Amino acid sequence: MPIPTPTPTPRAARSHRAETYKPGATIGDWRPEDEGFWQSTGRRVAQRNLWISIPALMLAFVVWQVWSVTVVKLNDVGFGFSPSQLFWLTAIPGITGGTFRILYTFIGPNFGERKFTAFSTIVLVLPMLWLGFALEDPGTPYWELVLIAAVCGIGGANFASSMANIGFFFPKREKGSANGLNGGLGNLGVSVVQLVAPLVVTAAVLGAPAGGPQHDAKENTDIWLQNGAFLWVPLLVIMALLAWFLMNDLKVAAAPFSQQKIIFRRKHNWLMTWLYVGTFGSFIGFAAGLPLLIKNNFEAQGYQATTYAWIGPFIGALMRWAGGWLSDRMGGARVTLLSFVGMAASLVVVVFALPHAGDQGNFWAFFIGFLAAFAFSGLGNGSTFRQIPVIFREQHMREAEGKGPEAQAAAMKQSEMEAGAVTGFSSAIAAYGFFFIPAMFAAMAVTHALWLFIGFYATCLAVCWWFYARKGAEAPS
């Protein structure tokens, strides 16, 4: 009996599947909770998208935070602004960052992670070029610098779309670590710009195209302040191209606003937003305000903001990953509780270390207190973003219990969509901490502002314990 010739269908099917998951493709079939799919295909694709998303998000944070370090040198090269005006330049990017995060939350998933990461990265070239040219001329008016600061704020919006999208790639058991890596290493952009920018402005490292120097009257030397902006332009272009050619779009992540707006009727959207304002709002606000706090309170004692300010955001960014990892093992709510207790205790140390009437204060107690506050805020950033998908998944799966596989699959998809939208929305509201914390430092005594933050942390502790951490809590997470 002749042996039948094998049909080409299986090979064609395998080829089609390979095409489906290659870099640049739009993926329709995505099942991260299916262990066989995850091990054979999903993990590799998800990791590739994650490791491109991270540096793109890091550069977005660089653009968002570039003013926190730029303002420290403005007056030294002849701009002549008041301390209040400098704090406002630091704070303004927080307004546009938070506002555009709301927009990016709901439109990003519909464009797809690949397209939207490429687009949202390349548009940041404009504010960096504008800032660089403006810094070459100490006669640039204050109103123009305010506009540039506002446009730089758009960089902060990328976080919302990035975090909402990247979570779709990973199974439940790895969401905390994946979001912690994406957010935490992305947050490193804050410390990167505060560390690198002061170094590159001290020499003509970008050559003649970057323009001539300004004279630093305080140090009696030439500096190239514009280098702190121009340096990032080629890196932004490169990352936009890598995102376009190597990432993927997930059809499962796409959802029109008409479906996403249901989160505004979800109680846990508002509660988790409150908690995330306490963690990320503190992280980003302290990162924006710390350089000027050091300059205004301790520079006369020989402590330079550019030497120390980057360390706090660096620790906070790394601890975000630790918060996600730890939450995957012991529960997000417990880690969130720990973060608020730690932040409150740390700020008490900072309050008593600041200069008072007739007292120069204690810089090292002040600085170590802030480092601890950054560390605990980072833990909370990771744990809250682990809580959100768990809360919504458990809620929807309970409602679908006993209704059959189709209802459970629909519930899972709905929970993923809502968790992504809540992640983006909560990050948008928390981003306003970038504005309010420096603004409060500009408008009132720093110690008064810090006591207000401590009181706010007490309310966050109460919310987290009652709804998520206590025995018999409504939504243990």
Place of tokens 């099942």: 31
For the ranges 63-77, 191-205, 452-466, the maximum mean pLDDT occurs at 452-466
- pLDDT band at residue 168 using 50, 70 and 90 as cut-offs: confident
Average pLDDT over residues 175-190: 83
Give the chain's mean pLDDT. 87
Residue 282 in tokens: 């503190």
Quick one: CA torsion of 414, 418, 423, 426, rounded to 10 degrees? -170
pLDDT tops 70 at residue 166: yes
Residue 3 has a pLDDT of: 45
Residue 208 has a pLDDT of: 65
Task: Determine how many CB atoms are found less than 10 A away from the CB of residue 339.
Answer: 31
Number of domains in the chain: 1
Residue 88 has a pLDDT of: 87
Residue 12 has a pLDDT of: 40
Domain membership of residue 40 (yes or no) is no
Alpha helices by DSSP H, listed for 299-331, are 305-308, 311-330
Q: Which residue has the higher pLDDT, 18 or 450?
A: 450
pLDDT tops 50 at residue 15: no
Contacts of 392 (CB under 8 A, 6+ apart): 266, 268, 415, 418, 419, 422
Contacts of 137 (CB under 8 A, 6+ apart): none
Angle (deg, nearest 10), helices 83-111 and 43-74: 160
Residue 124 has a pLDDT of: 97
**% of the chain exceeding 90 in pLDDT:** 45
Q: How far apart are CA 153 and CA 97, in angstroms?
A: 4
pLDDT tops 70 at residue 99: yes
Phi, psi of 304 (to 5 degrees): -95, 135
Domain membership of residue 30 (yes or no) is no
Q: How far apart are CA 83 and CA 219, in angstroms?
A: 19
Task: Determine how many CB atoms are found less than 10 A away from the CB of residue 51.
Answer: 15
Domain membership of residue 248 (yes or no) is yes
pLDDT tops 60 at residue 8: no
CATH (domain of 435): 1.20.1250.20
For the segment 363-404, what is each residue's pLDDT rounded down to a tens digit? 999 999 999 999 999 999 989 988 998 999 888 888 888 888
Residue 239 in tokens: 């990352």
Contacts of 370 (CB under 8 A, 6+ apart): 286, 290, 312, 346, 350
Domain membership of residue 109 (yes or no) is yes
**% of the chain exceeding 70 in pLDDT:** 94
Q: Which residue has the higher pLDDT, 259 or 271?
A: 271
Domain membership of residue 353 (yes or no) is yes
Domain membership of residue 174 (yes or no) is yes
pLDDT tops 70 at residue 11: no
Q: How far apart are CA 412 and CA 417, in angstroms?
A: 9
Average pLDDT over residues 293-312: 90
Integer angstrom CA distances of residue 201 from 79, 83, 117, 233, 300: 16, 22, 29, 15, 22
Residue 253 has a pLDDT of: 67
Of 168-177, 224-233, 280-289, which range is least confident?
Answer: 168-177
Of 144-158, 180-194, 342-356, 450-464, which range is least confident?
Answer: 180-194
pLDDT tops 90 at residue 341: yes
Q: How far apart are CA 12 and CA 307, in angstroms?
A: 59
Q: How far apart are CA 458 and CA 406, in angstroms?
A: 43
Domain membership of residue 16 (yes or no) is no
- The number of residues in the chain equals 477
Integer angstrom CA distances of residue 125 from 52, 161, 232: 18, 18, 8
Q: How far apart are CA 168 and CA 422, in angstroms?
A: 13
Domain membership of residue 335 (yes or no) is yes
Of 210-224, 314-328, 376-390, 392-406, which range is least confident?
Answer: 210-224
Q: How far apart are CA 354 and CA 374, in angstroms?
A: 17
Q: Which of 320, 400, 389 is nearest to 170 (CA)?
A: 389
For the segment 40-72, what is each residue's pLDDT rounded down to a tens digit? 988 999 999 999 999 999 999 999 989 988 888
Alpha helices by DSSP H, listed for 25-171, are 35-37, 43-74, 83-111, 113-122, 125-135, 142-152, 158-166
Domain around 201: 45-469
Residue 377 in tokens: 């805020």
